[in-house]
Amino acid sequence: MPTEPDTSEEKKHLLAGTVMSGADIVVQVLADENVDTIFGYSGGAILPTYDAVFRFNDRHRLPDGRSPMSLIVPANEQGAGFMAAGYARASGEVGVVMVTSGPGATNTVTPVRDCMADSVPIVVICGQVPTKAIGTDAFQEAPVSAIMGAVAKHVFLVTDPNRLEATMRSAFEIARTGRPGPVVIDVPKDIQNWEGEFTGAGSLPLNGYRARLQSVLDNRLNDDACERLYKMLSESERPLIYAGGGVINGNATKPMRRFADAYGIPVATTLMALGASDTKHPLSLHMLGMHGTAFANYAVEDCDFLITIGARFDDRVAGDPVNFAPNAKNIAHFDVDVSEIGKVKNVDWHHIGVLSRDLEDLLNFGKRIDFKKDFSTWHAEIGELKSKHRMNYDRDSDLIQPYAVIEEINRITRGEAIISTGVGQHQMWAAQYFDFREPRLWLTSGSMGTMGFGLPAAIGAQFAHRDRLVIDIDGDGSMRMNIGELETATTYGLPVKVVVFNNFGDGMVRQWQKLFYQGRMSGSDKSLHSKDFVKTAEADGFKFARRLDKKEDLQSVVDEFVNFSGPAFLEVIIDPDAGVYPMVGPGLSYSKMITGDYIVGRDNPDDEAPGPSQMF
C-alpha cells in the first residue's frame, strides 16, 4: 500500500562516504532495510555478495552468537523463492532471495510468478556474468531481464555501479508499495567487485511510479462518496462483504472487521483472504468460490448489496460474472489498483485508495450521521444457511477421511496455527475445514496454483515466526515436488509440522477423471507408489516420522504429532475416493454448485454439471 512520505530531516548514514565493494553495498542496504533472513543458493556469479554477507555477520554478531542476517540454504533455488514468499506472507515484510546466474536465476521464475499472481513482496538478487560477457552465451548466463520481465513487478539490470545502491533501495520500495509484488535485481559479477563510495541515502527517480502511488494516497474518501455508499446500505436488506487478499496485503483487516461489526454485515472471504474475518465469528461465512462453503455461495446468491474489498472477481470466485451475485441491486468495490475496477464485473460504486484508511473514514462517516439499520432478519437467514448447508463428509467410513484429520488438528490448534499448503485436494480441504482467527495464518499458492509450495513456504514462515506453530498440509504429489526441503527443516532445527495426505495420485485431477472421463487416469496415476515417505523423512533427520493408516489411531497420533517439540512428519493414508465438495464448475454460476453426498444443497431442477472441457 502507499505510505505517507517521510517529511522529517533525513539523518546522515553512519557509513556515508565509506569506500565499499558493490557486494558490500548490497549487503549494507539489506541491513538498512532490516533484512534478518536471506534465502538462497550460492554459485560463481554471486560469490562476492555471499562473501560479503559472511563478513557482515562476522563483524556484527549478536550477543548470543547468532548472525544478524541469517543465510538459509535450501535444496534448490525454487525452494528459496517459496521460503521467501512464506516469510513475506506470514510477516508482511519483504522476503529476500539471493541466487547465482543462469540456472540459479531461472529456477526462481516460478516463485517470482507465484508472488506476482498473489501480490507478495519479495526481492530476488541474482548474480550475473560480468557486464562485458552479457550476450555472449557465457558460462551460466541467462537473459534474466527478458525472462523475468514478463512475470515480475519490476526487473533491474545493474550496468552502472554508481546506481547499484539506489537500485537496491528502489527495489524494496517497489516491492512493498502499492500492490505488492516481486522485484528482481540482476547484478553482474564485476559490479559486485567494483569499489566506490557508499552514500547511505538516495533512490532512483521512479517519477511515474511515485506519481501513481501519490494519486492513490491523495484520493481520500469524501463525504459525497460515503453518503452514496450508506444510501445503498440503507436500501439494502441483505448486505454482504466479499473480502479479497488485498485486505490482508493492505493491513486492512482490523478496520474491515470494525466496519462489518458496526452494522452486522456478514463477511465471505476469498481463498487468499482467509483470516481477514475471524472464521469463528457468527457472521463469518468462511470462503466463497469454486470450492467455497455452500452457505457462503448461497449467501452471495441471496445478497442484495455486495461490498467488495480488495478482491478482483477472479474466475475461481466469479466464474460466470454476469450471474455472480444475481440479486445484488448494487455492488461497491474498494481497491488499491484501478485496473481491477470493471475488469471482470461492472460495479455501481468504487473507490481507489488506501484500504485501511478508507474503511476507517467510511466508519467515521457512519458514526457522524449516526447510521443505523436492522439486519436481524438477514442474520437469521445467515444462521439458517450455515446450519442447513454446513460442511460435512462420510463420518461413518472405515477409511481415514482427510477432513477428520484436519478437524482434529484444528481442535488442538484452535485457529491460531500458521497453515501452509501445497496445491490440490488437500489445499481445498485445509481451506474449508481449518479456522483462522487472524490474518497471515494461511499460506497457499492461490492464483498460480503451484504444487510444491507448501513445505518451503512453511519453512519461510517458521523463520518469520520462530515461536509459532507452523503446519504444512500437503499431498503426495505436491510433496514430491520439493521434498528435498525436508532436510532444510531439520538442518536449521525448525519445529515445522508436515502432514502428507497420501491418496497415491493427483487427487484433484483424478476427481475430474472419475466424473467426466469414465475413470481413465491419464497421467494422474503415474505409478509412483513406491516412495516410503516416512523413511524419507527419517533419512532427512525427522525424529518424529509416522504413518497413520488406522482410523482408530487418528486422535492419539495427531495429538502426539502436533505436540512434538521438534520437526515432525506425518503421512496419512486417506480414502482415495475422498472428494472436494462443494464444487462449482469453471464458467458456471453458484446456482449450479455441486454439493456432493454429504452437504445439503438447494434443489435446482436446472442443475447442470460441468463437462470435461471445463476441467480447470
Is residue 6 a part of any domain in this protein? no
16-43 exposure pattern, b = at least 16 Cβ within 10 A, e = fewer: eeeebbbbbbbbbbbebbebbbbbbbbb
| Nearest-10 crossing angle of helices 425-433, 507-516 | 100
| Residue 49 sits in the same domain as residue 93 | yes
Rounded CA separation 311/272 (Å): 9
| Residue 154 sits in the same domain as residue 135 | yes
Is residue 550 a part of any domain in this protein? yes
Please report the pLDDT score of residue 339 as a whole number: 94
- Respond yes or no: is residue 571 known to be catalytic: no
| Residue 208 sits in the same domain as residue 249 | no
Is residue 597 a part of any domain in this protein? no
CATH code at position 157 = 3.40.50.970
Rounded CA separation 85/175 (Å): 12
| Residue 499 sits in the same domain as residue 530 | yes
Catalytic residue chosen out of the listed positions 33, 39, 69, 77: 77
| Residue 206 sits in the same domain as residue 243 | no
Catalytic residue chosen out of the listed positions 189, 345, 497, 592: 189
Rounded CA separation 487/308 (Å): 42
Please report the pLDDT score of residue 10 as a whole number: 61
Angle at 544 between CA 542 and CA 550, to 5 degrees: 130
Domain count, the chain: 3
CATH code at position 318 = 3.40.50.1220
Helix H, strand E, coil C: the string for 20-50 is EEHHHHHHHHHHHCCCCEEEEECCHHHHHHH
Is residue 615 a part of any domain in this protein? no
Contact criterion met (CB below 8 Å) for 128 and 192:
no
**DSSP conformation class of 74:** -
- Respond yes or no: is residue 593 known to be catalytic: no
Decide which of 216, 231, 260 is a domain's last residue. Answer: 216
Please report the pLDDT score of residue 527 as a whole number: 59
| Residue 435 sits in the same domain as residue 518 | yes
| Residue 178 sits in the same domain as residue 237 | no
Please report the pLDDT score of residue 290 as a whole number: 95
- Placement of cell 469414465 in the chain: 518
Please report the pLDDT score of residue 610 as a whole number: 46
Catalytic residue chosen out of the listed positions 139, 197, 550, 608: 139
Catalytic residue chosen out of the listed positions 148, 232, 287, 508: 508
Q: What is the largest CA-CA distance in the chain?
A: 76
Decide which of 216, 247, 268 is a domain's last residue. Answer: 216
Q: What does the radius of gyration of the chain's CA atoms come to, in whole angstroms?
A: 25
| Residue 361 sits in the same domain as residue 412 | no
Spans of the chain, pLDDT less than 50: 1-9, 605-616
- In three-state secondary structure terms, 349 is strand
Nearest to 429 by CA among 378, 393, 398, 395: 393
Is residue 586 a part of any domain in this protein? no
Please report the pLDDT score of residue 39 as a whole number: 98
- Respond yes or no: is residue 148 known to be catalytic: no
Please report the pLDDT score of residue 248 as a whole number: 97
- Respond yes or no: is residue 235 known to be catalytic: no
| Residue 60 sits in the same domain as residue 78 | yes
Residue 245: CB partners within 8 Å, gap ≥ 6? 118, 119, 270, 272, 273, 310, 311, 446
Q: What is the pTM of this model?
A: 0.94
Decide which of 200, 216, 232 is a domain's last residue. Answer: 216
| Residue 243 sits in the same domain as residue 185 | no
Residue 331 structural domain: 219-383
- Answer whether the bond into residue 610 is a cis peptide, omega within 30°: no
For residue 346 the three cell numbers come to: 461492472
Catalytic residue chosen out of the listed positions 54, 140, 381, 448: 140
Is residue 612 a part of any domain in this protein? no
Is residue 161 a part of any domain in this protein? yes
Is residue 393 a part of any domain in this protein? no
Please report the pLDDT score of residue 528 as a whole number: 65
Helix H, strand E, coil C: the string for 488-538 is HHHHCCCCCEEEEEECCCCHHHHHHHHHHCCCCCCCCCCCCCCCCHHHHHH
| Residue 40 sits in the same domain as residue 168 | yes
| Residue 284 sits in the same domain as residue 297 | yes
Bridge partners of 88, per DSSP, are none
What values do phi and psi take at 292, rounded to 5? -70, 170
- Respond yes or no: is residue 214 known to be catalytic: no
